[in-house]
Structure 1
Amino acid sequence: MRLGASAYLAHAPLAGPTFEAAAAAGATLAFTSLHIPEDSPSGARAAATALVSAAASSGLSVVADVSPNTARLLGDSPWDFLRSIGVARARIDFGFSVPEILSIAAVLPIALNASTLRAADLAPFADLDVELIHNFYPREWTGLALSSVASSVAVARQFGWRVGAFIAGDSVRRGPLGEGLPTVEEHRTMPPLFQAFELVDVGVADVYVGDPALTDHSWERLGSFVRDDVVVLDGVAAPGVHPVVIEALAVPDRNRPDAAEAMIRLEHSRERFAGLPLPAVGGQPRPAGAVTVQLTSAGRYCGEVAITLRDLPADDRVAVLGALTVPLAALGDQSLTIVLG
């Protein structure tokens, strides 16, 4: 997965800090839109130049969203201008004919709209340097289903192209609505890491943060995923759990290959936890998202750590170590750690 950050002319002061934080998290891409109706042509070329320069300073390659309105913002020869300031790719949003798109592609590599174009629409560009990038959806309830994104990946593979999509931010959200900029509707209120994880799980290659800022915590969690290929699950410890046990949960592990329906069973946990100071008493309720451990009364299963995927009955052989505060996902064989605060 390649990670990208976004910046906009109306949020220009955020561009530098956002790009720096993104680069520290392993991002290599940047996105901006150069056809927003609310943006003014006054100073637009200078603002776009500064934004692309800020991205380059952080080592990020810029994709610029364009439409016929881009010429209103940037004036004559907008594609030559974008190439001259270092834009790496123009994403064609709407309003261009096939010959017009081909003329842009003669100046800059292009990305096409994965949300609106079908295989037949893409055929004229089959021999070009092309990527597909989905729309984001600023208004609540207008985003796509995750299954639609998965379908676009299948189409892109026919051409050998990458697919990009957007996740919503959890800090500064772009106006005028401020409702987040995800591609998938159900992602609008999810933590950024789990939005990204679900997109990657259906084959998305490039994940862009649509909004102009994330919290430091979210950049850190995305960084663990991008740089280290580790999903960090945050949660809250149950009272009285020994600090040594909490520390052991932060050691990377993974779900067993014979994945259970009702829980995530950490593959190597028994050997790590059996000799630790586990809770003396089990039998607590096990709602979905509970982090549990098998006690000595479980025999050879002692020390096995699990995360419940649905509500399970209490079991005296099982103690609850804490509860996740993040959504659960189908992790497969993904490496994970559990951080209980």
Structure 2
Amino acid sequence: MLGFSIYLNKDVTSETEQYIKRLKKNNFNGIFTSVHIPEEDSEKYKERLLKLGSLAKVNNLNVMVDIDRNSLKKLDISLSSLNYLKKQGITGLRIDDKLASEQIATLSQNIEIGINGSTFTEEELRQLSIFNAKMENIQAWFNFYPCPDTGISRQFFEKQIRMFKKYGMKVQAFFAGDENRRGPLYEGLPTLECQRTYDPLASILKLKELGADLFYLGDPGISDESLDQIRTYQETGSIILYTKKAENVSEKMYNYILGKHNQRPDPAEYVVRCEDSRMHKVPIINSENVIERVKGSITLNNRFYQRYMGEIQLVKGDLPMNKKVNVVGRVDNGSISLIDSIQPGQEFYLYKK
């Protein structure tokens, strides 16, 4: 499931409503928000939370609220108030600090609970079982990390996922946005450090491959281009990669590689080969911009490759210069990791950025 984040440090306005509708239209079905409340703003946050819940309810969206022990008290959230919250559109509570296992177990009998996937231990999971937690109501929600270099490693992420899956739990992770990133650092809000500069779709596909089930946009913004990538993949299984022309190449040669392609069913080790690209009626392709092929390069075989002239390839890793191969463009930095996601026979598109 896809979700997105809305933060309550600002009022919930008509602009917020339009953003919610935009993401809902693009197959996002959940909202994450946080109520770590400044002392003087408890009433304001409660009002904003209930307004957000109302909008979510109208749009048939889930709402997971990140909450700590102090906020529980400030908002007067207890077992007796959970039914009221659910009626207002709040469907889950993500517990950010170390609430006692018995209390989490009790809450899970009445509402969906997100435990902290980044810090929860197997001993704590055993404790939940001892206190008869309703495990089907508990999900593992990882943190996001605003500071560069502080996101968790892929290895630790995989280790935690294996632990949670042993208990039959669903796992959530955040991916960074590519527009309107959250301040004060504006460096993206991913769970995995390696995904800080990824396109959203690239992050989603990799998180899915690693075993996650729920994918939430951490930042409060995402571009139309990224939404197109996500929607196209969901609806057709095709991958859109945004590209740029190489500096020393003619527009005509660059335009030749744009459009729809399929990877061959027998994938190569170092490149993605575009099936049928050399089968089209191609002009004589002279040697042009014959340089080192760095990862993400888009290449076109020139006339020195004889019957292989015209073949289009995407480079998976750095390769040396080859006098038979023109470098005509490059996959945009954020989309480079999508190259590895292209499966044998899969359809993909090369678009001009």
TM-score > 0.5, shorter chain as reference: yes
Is 1:222 the counterpart of 2:230? The answer is: yes
Q: Distance in 2 between matches of 1:82 and 1:180?
A: 30
1:3 paired to 2:2? yes
Q: Are residues 278 and 194 of structure 1, via their aligned partners in 2, closer, same or farther at CA, if it must alter by over 3 Å? A: farther
Q: Give the superposition deviation at 1:291.
A: 0.7
Cα deviation 1:261-319 (Å, max 9, x = unaligned): x2222344344xx3144643346113332111224543443332111233333333322
| Secondary structure in structure 2 of the residue aligned to 1:314 | coil
Helix, strand or coil: the match of 2:220? coil
The yes-or-no answer on 1:111 pairing with 2:111 is: no
Are residues 1:89 and 2:95 paired? no
Q: Does 1:266 align with 2:274?
A: yes
Cα offset, 1:4, TM superposition: 0.7
The residue correspondences of 1:25-44 to structure 2 (distance < 5 A) are: 25-37=26-38, 40-44=41-45
Which residue identity is paired with 1:246? N
- Residue 169 of structure 2 corresponds to residue 161 of structure 1: yes
Are the aligned partners of 1:25 and 1:227 in contact in 2 as well (CA < 8 Å)? Answer: no
CA contact (8 A) 1:232 1:337 kept: yes
Of residues 311, 321, 341, the one that matches 1:314 is 321
Instruction: Verify the 8 A CA contact 1:136 1:181 in the aligned structure 2.
Output: yes
Deviation at residue 177 of structure 1 after TM alignment: 4.0
Q: 1:56 to 1:227 in 2, by over 3 A?
A: farther
Higher relative contact order (CA 8 A, sep 6+): 1
Aligned residues: 336
Q: CA deviation at 1:176?
A: 4.3
Residue 213 of structure 1 corresponds to: 221
Taking the TM superposition and a 5 Å limit, the aligned residue runs for 1:94-173 are 94-123=97-126, 124=129, 125=133, 127-173=135-181
CA distance in 2 between counterparts of 1:70 and 1:120 reads: 26
Distance, in Å, in 2 between the alignment partners of 1:201 and 1:4 is: 18
Q: Which residue of 1 aligns with 2:258?
A: 249
Asked whether the equivalents of residues 64 and 90 of structure 1 are also in contact (C-alpha less than 8 Å), the reply is: yes
SS in structure 1 of the partner of residue 145 of structure 2: coil
- The answer (yes or no) to whether the contact 2:31–2:63 under 8 Å persists in 1 is yes
Conserved? CA contact 1:246–1:339, under 8 Å: no
Residues 25-77 of structure 1: CA deviation (Å, up to 9, x unaligned) = 22112111123447821232321121122233443222222221232442254
What whole-Å deviation, never above 9, does each CA across 1:206-265 have from its counterpart, x for those lacking one?
A: 11011112222222223333333333211113442438x7376321423654331x2222
> Amino acid of the residue matched to residue 138 of structure 1?
P
Does 2:25 correspond to 1:24?
yes
- The AA in structure 1 aligned to 2:89 is G
When normalised by structure 2's length, the TM-score is 0.84
Q: Residue in 2 aligned with 1:331?
A: 341
> One-letter code of the match for 2:17?
G
Contact 2:7–2:34 (CA under 8 A) maintained in structure 1 = yes
SS in 2 for 1:251: strand
**What do you get for the CA RMSD once the two structures are aligned?**
2.7
**For 1:56 and 1:247, how far apart are their aligned partners in 2?**
48
**TM-score computed with the length of structure 1 as normaliser:** 0.86
Please give the alpha-carbon distance, in whole angstroms, between the structure 2 residues aligned to 1:221 and 1:252. Answer: 15
Q: Paired residue for 2:286, among 269, 275, 280?
A: 280
In structure 2, do the counterparts of structure 1 residues 223 and 96 end up closer, same or farther at CA, with 3 Å as the change threshold?
Answer: same
Which amino acid letter does the alignment assign opposite residue 169 of structure 2?
A: W
* Counterpart code for 2:34: S
For residue 319 of structure 2, give the secondary structure of its aligned residue in structure 1. Answer: coil
Distance between the aligned counterparts of 1:172 and 1:97, measured in 2? 36
* 8 Å contact kept, 2:67–2:95: yes
Q: Compute the displacement of 1:198 (Å).
A: 2.4
Percent of pairs with identical residues: 27
Unaligned runs of 5+ in 1: none
Partner of residue 304, structure 1: 311
Whether the aligned pair in 1 keeps the contact of 2:267 and 2:273 (CA below 8 Å) is: no
Q: Distance in 1 between matches of 2:199 and 2:206?
A: 11
State how far apart, in whole Å, the 2-side matches of 1:197 and 1:24 are. Answer: 20
Distance of aligned partners of 1:27 and 1:203 in 2 relative to their CA distance in 1, 3 Å threshold: same
What runs of 5+ residues in structure 2 fail to find an aligned partner? Answer: none
